[in-house]
Structures are given as C-alpha cells and as structure tokens.
Amino acid sequence: MTGLGGLNPSPSSLTLGLVQQQVPLVETTADVDAATDRVVAALRAAKEGFSALDLVVFPEYSLHGLRKSGWARDELMCDLDGPQVERLRLACREAGVWGCFSVMERNPKGAPFNSGIIVDSAGEIALYVRKLHPWTPKEPWEPGDIGVPVCRGPKGSVLSMLICHDGMFPEVAREACYRGANVLLRTAGYKFPLKQSWRITNEANAFQNLAYTASVCLAGHDGNGIPSMGEAMVCDFEGTIVERGDSTPDRVVTATIEPARADAARREWGVENNIYQLGHRGYTALAGGATDCPYTYMSDLVSGRYRVPWEDEVQIVDGTGEGYGPPREAGSSVDTARGGLEAR
C-alpha cells in the first residue's frame, strides 16, 4: 500500500518524491548553475507542497544534460567540494529533507566520473558513489572505482544508488543488497527505446533481492534526438509496480513504502528468499546448504580472466564509433590521453 501516493503515510513509512526533471540543455558554466538552481527550486517546492516527503530523488544528468558537447569540457564538471554540491547540500538542510542527486565529477587523472550523492536532512553527504558501468559506447566516463556503498536513511531504510546502466546488471543490485540495502534508488537519463528494459530490470532487482526499487529518468526534449522518457517507478519487494509515472517533464511522482516489510521478508520467507539462498543452496537436503561458488563467471572475474565464449567476435569495444578518441591505456594519465573523452 502506498497511502494514496504518500498522502497518508504511517509513522514507519518512507515517503518518496521522484522528480521527472525536464532534461536541461547545458553548454556553459552558467547553464550548469542554472540547472542547479532548478534542482534546488524543485526540491524546496516539493517539500513545501508535500510536507510528508522524506526523500526527493532527481535523475541522472539533472545538472549536465545529455549533450556530448557539454560532457567533453572540463570546465563544466563539478567537484564534491564545489559550489554546485554545496548548494544542493544547503537546500536539503534548509528544507529539512533528504535528497539524491547526480553530479558529473571532475577527475584530474582521466575522464570524469559519473557520480551520485545522497544528502541527509542536515545537509551532510551520507552516500557517495561513482557509476560502475558507464553506458558504453555512448558514454565516455571513467568506470567507477569505489564499489557499491550503502547508507542508513530515514524511516528504517538502508539506501544504495544505482546510476542508470548499473541497474541493468543484476550483480550491482545484488551487491548493494548483500551489503544491507533495502531500498535501491536508480537515477537515469534513458530515452524511450529503453522503456521495456527499464521496467523489467526495476521489477527484477526488487524481487530477486527482496528490496524496494525507486527509479526516475529525465523527461522531455532538449532539441536533440529522441526525448527522455520520465517514467518514475516504485516497485515493492515482490517485484510489483506500486507507483508509475509517465513522460510529463517536471512531474513529481510520490509514493510511500515500508522498508521494515522488506527486512521482515528477508528474515521470515522460505520460498524465494533468493538473496539468502544464493549462498545456501539446497539447505533442505544439506544442513546449512552448499556454500561453494559454482559460477564460472564469478571466479573468472575475480581472477581477471573474464572472457565470454564469443570474445574475439565482439565488434564494438571502444567509443570511436560514437566520435570519441581512443581510450587511454590502463595506468596512463590524463596528460597522455583523455580516455576517450575528447570528441573527434
């Protein structure tokens, strides 16, 4: 139950506001500042108009838009201790609400990171993550290097953040939940061709891990190509969609969820308690279950030998077809190569 989209929250419920933000057009530092102003204004307006909100979630690229021309310019990137992030933190503190934000983060050693932060109601950064799996070959970002963090959030939630394409990998959601997350926040800039994949992965990530998923994309058109899809979505731990938005730019989709119910399912379910059963195979027949790792891809990945059977036949293995320069070699610095960031 979502209590009429959060209008009737219980004391134990977490009330979410998912902002289907209009995709910004960013070409200058002034545009980044203007986009930051819009995010701040939207957060304040959401909380003022809906006082029950505990957490407001903004899409990926909400400060930087989707134009490659803006991505390739170092002066448009942000720093965690920079003015844009400081304004986001101040807005959360003044409004007394948690916020989840997207930041394209400057990286002196290579291509920028596609990063995300969760800020608490006191204005402190509670979680900081770098996108593990940039949407190659379309995106030029440096792959994330700080794993899949989690943090304690309001109303008994344990939060983690999956940035767009990260949510297509079941391993990322599983890692977050293995570390204790019961609410997965997914921010994205996806456009309409990904609508079906968006839905099924949001549902699957929830059910396979007995977690809630709360996801939101940019919406609208920036005058270039296919519009972004919006499509905010909340799934419960059975994989059922309990709230779903549309393509309306700047619509705030609200929902109330009960993190404690996901926690209870993880402790009380037998059938389909899959996140537990992964490491306790066949416990009905074998006390405690089998605790080995029968999955070749896992052991190969750990040992640096990951290789699909069709490895030599894969045709697209860098971003040159998308107009980016060649990727930098491992260990090289930004001074020797821009890691594919510079457009040709």
Q: What is the pLDDT of residues 264-312, one digit of tens each?
A: 999 999 999 999 999 999 999 999 999 999 999 999 999 999 999 999 9
Q: Answer yes or no: do 192 and 314 share one domain.
A: no
Query: Tell me, what DSSP letter sits at residue 112?
Result: P
Q: Answer yes or no: do 89 and 228 share one domain.
A: yes
Quick: pLDDT tens for 9-41.
888 899 999 999 999 999 999 999 999 999 999
Q: Answer yes or no: do 145 and 223 share one domain.
A: yes
| Cβ-contact 123, 89 below 8 angstroms | yes
Judge whether 131 lies within some domain. yes
Q: Answer yes or no: do 341 and 244 share one domain.
A: no
Range of the domain at 192: 3-271
pTM of the predicted structure, to 2 decimals: 0.95
- 3-state class of 251 per DSSP? strand
Q: What is the pLDDT of residue 294?
A: 97
Q: What is the pLDDT of residue 339?
A: 59
The per-type count for the chain, helices as H runs and strands as E runs, is: 9, 14
Strand partners, 212: 183
Judge whether 166 lies within some domain. yes
Judge whether 259 lies within some domain. yes
Catalytic residue (one of 47, 100, 131, 175): 131
- Residue 3 Ramachandran class (φ > 0 left, ψ -120 to 50 alpha, else beta): left
Q: What is the pLDDT of residue 72?
A: 76
Judge whether 237 lies within some domain. yes
pLDDT surpasses 80 at 344: no
Tokens of 184: 């997965």
Catalytic residue (one of 78, 92, 164, 235): 164
Cα separations (Å) of 222 from 14, 171, 238, 263? 33, 33, 36, 41
Q: How many other C-beta atoms lie within 10 A of the C-beta of residue 261?
A: 19
Q: Answer yes or no: do 225 and 336 share one domain.
A: no
Q: Answer yes or no: do 117 and 245 share one domain.
A: yes
Q: Is 131 a catalytic residue?
A: yes
Q: How confident is the model at residue 334 (pLDDT cuts 50, 70, 90)?
A: low
Quick: pLDDT tens for 173-182.
999 999 999 9
Phi and psi at 116, nearest 5°, equal -140, 150
Judge whether 73 lies within some domain. yes
Helix 195-209 / helix 170-178 crossing angle, nearest 10 deg: 30
Separation between Cα atoms, residue 16 and residue 135, nearest integer Å: 26
Q: What is the mean pLDDT of residues 242-247?
A: 97
Judge whether 127 lies within some domain. yes
Catalytic residue (one of 47, 60, 151, 175): 60
Separation between Cα atoms, residue 105 and residue 23, nearest integer Å: 19
Judge whether 100 lies within some domain. yes
Quote the number of domains for the chain.
2
